[in-house]
């Protein structure tokens, strides 16, 4: 069984909300980032989005842009990302989703990437700039290794399109709550509950909501109707400030309230 499925059914049985955490691999260097990631996982991150940095992160706000730059300056590559995933797998059963932009993976070769990812103990991939129309050339290789392609749904995605995005989707669905780039926001999205309800009517897959969640209170609100909440930029910032463990604990206890 794919670890993503196992984790969500475990959460469902326990009646708990999931915490999906994003961190940029290699920020500020490989050793330090690996340490942060393992600490985050041990403190309550249920699904790890392991971020591959890219030179041109067009969907990211300043926090993740800066983290990506630090990681690239430290020499992060897909090869090193896969090796890191393998080491994380040695110490944890956390589901690992590789997260990033298409080009570094395309350059590495989709077929080779999926084979090596499966070997390293990765469970899925989420590629920001690979909508379903362009995803087949990656998905055919993911499928071979029982790796999941995690679909994204945006506030602009209409219901007819949602159906197509969800075709053959596995693992969980990531709903982006706001139109914009990644990053912490003071104001939370409005109309979220209706949207989540609509989505719930269209799929049985667990639903994770994200974009702009930065503290426990926001996480609790966002997770109300969803199965999990995604936190990215706030974790990246906390890792930089040395407060990652306390933020993860805060998020965890807010979700468990």
Partner 1 sequence: MSESDIMSEQPDSRGHFGEFGGRYVAETLMPVLIELEAAYKEAVKDPDFMSEFSRLLRDYVGRPSPLYLAERLTAACGGADIYLKREDLNHTGAHKVNNTVGQALLARRMGKNRLMAETGAGQHGVATATAAALFGMECVVYMGEEDIERQAPNVKRMELLGAEVVPVSSGTRTLKDAMGEALRAWVATVDDTFYVIGSVAGPHPYPAMVRDFQRVIGDEARGQVLAMAERLPDMVIACVGGGSNAAGIFCAFIEDADVKLVGVEAAGLGIETGKHSASIGSGRQGILHGTKTYLLQDEHGQVLNAHSIAAGLDYPGVGPQHSAWAESGRVKYVSITDEEALAAFHKLTRLEGIIPALESSHALAETAKQAKAMGKGRILVVNLSGRGDKDVDAILRKDEG
Give the residue numbers annotated as catalytic, written as ranges.
49, 60
Task: Determine the size of the site formed for partner 1 (CB under 8 A).
Answer: 40
- Retrieve residue 8's tokens: 């969500």
Neighbours of 170 (CB within 10 A): 18
Q: Which of 9, 159, 179, 190 binds partner 1 (CB under 8 A)?
A: 179
Q: Does 130 bind partner 1 (CB under 8 A)?
A: yes
- Say whether residue 78 binds partner 1 (CB under 8 A): yes
Q: In angstroms, give the least distance from the CB of 233 to partner 1.
A: 14
Burial of 66 (0-12, 13-18, 19+ CB in 10 A): middle
Q: Six-digit token pair at 162? A: 């949602």
Instruction: Choose, by CB under 8 A, the member of 102, 166, 169, 188 that binds partner 1.
Output: 102
Beta bridge partners of 23: 50
Within 10 Å of residue 84's Cβ, how many Cβ atoms? 21
Gap between the Cα atoms of 195 and 169, Å rounded: 19
Query: Is the peptide bond between 28 and the residue preceding it cis, with omega within 30 degrees of 0?
Result: yes
CB 132 to partner 1: min, Å? 9
Report the nearest approach of partner 1 to the CB of residue 70 (Å).
13
Angle, alpha carbons 102-165-110 (nearest 5°): 30
> Taking CB under 8 A as the rule, does residue 203 contact partner 1?
no
CA 116, CA 85: separation in Å to the nearest integer?
A: 10
Stretch that binds partner 1, among 27-35, 42-50, 76-84, 197-205 (CB under 8 A): 76-84
Residue whose CB is less far from partner 1, 152 or 209: 152
Stretch that binds partner 1, among 16-24, 100-108, 142-150, 235-243 (CB under 8 A): 100-108
Question: What is the contact surface with partner 1 in residues (CB under 8 A)?
Answer: 54-61, 65, 72, 77-79, 101-108, 128-131, 133-134, 152-158, 161, 165, 176, 179-181
């Amino acid at each position: 069984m794919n670890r993503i499925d196992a984790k969500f059914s475990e959460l469902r049985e326990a009646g708990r909300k999931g915490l999906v955490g994003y961190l940029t691999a290699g920020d500020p260097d490989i050793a330090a980032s690996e340490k942060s990631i393992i600490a985050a996982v041990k403190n309550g991150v249920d699904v790890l989005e392991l971020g591959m940095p890219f030179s041109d992160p067009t969907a990211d706000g300043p926090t993740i842009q800066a983290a990506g730059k630090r990681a690239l300056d430290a020499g992060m590559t897909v090869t090193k990302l896969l090796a890191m995933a393998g080491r994380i797998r040695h110490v944890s059963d956390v589901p690992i989703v590789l997260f990033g932009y298409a080009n570094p993976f395309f350059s590495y070769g989709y077929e080779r990437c999926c084979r090596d990812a499966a070997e390293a103990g990765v469970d899925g991939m989420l590629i920001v700039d690979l909508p379903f129309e362009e995803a087949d050339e990656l998905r055919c290789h993911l499928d071979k290794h029982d790796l999941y392609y995690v679909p994204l749904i945006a506030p602009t995605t209409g219901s007819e399109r949602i159906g197509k995005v969800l075709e053959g989707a596995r693992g969980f669905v990531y709903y982006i709550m706001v139109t914009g780039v990644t990053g912490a926001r003071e104001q939370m999205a409005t109309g979220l509950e209706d949207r989540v309800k609509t989505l719930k009517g269209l799929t049985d897959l667990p639903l994770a909501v994200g974009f702009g969640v930065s503290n426990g209170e926001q996480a609790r609100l966002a997770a109300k109707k969803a199965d999990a909440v995604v936190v990215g930029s706030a974790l990246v910032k906390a890792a930089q400030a040395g407060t990652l463990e306390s933020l993860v604990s805060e998020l965890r206890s807010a979700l468990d309230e």
